[in-house]
Structure 1
């Protein structure tokens, strides 16, 4: 049984013209992470090592920005 994990992803786009847009966004904005996603990670050759229990994000927040320029 695993706990419920919710993540928040956002993206905002500003359209300046039919050919030009700017966007800003973020993934996992609330910075939710799973504690100890790999069981017995310190002993990868031991009998208790198991990487099958990853049920949530293991990375923190990521943010991005970009431009879209439509050629056609």
Structure 2
């Protein structure tokens, strides 16, 4: 495996494009095989996923207090 020499480091080292995600989701060999049908289907499926996971994501989001500005009253 080749080391990642790009500017990204940390937990999300490899970025994947939407084109790559669509190809993987539908078993396509490259972007030239993607049709509007694939795009609409992919967006619809992932919109549904986002709607289901959004309330859970909000529930588990930690509360991080806002730092006080110098002119805030104590």
Q: Is TM more than 0.5 here? A: no
TM-score normalised by the shorter chain: which range applies?
A: under 0.3
Q: Which has the higher contact order (CA 8 A, sep 6+)?
A: 1
Compare the two structures and name the one with the higher helix fraction. Answer: 2
Q: TM-score, normalised by structure 2?
A: 0.21
Compare the two structures and name the one with the higher strand fraction. Answer: 1
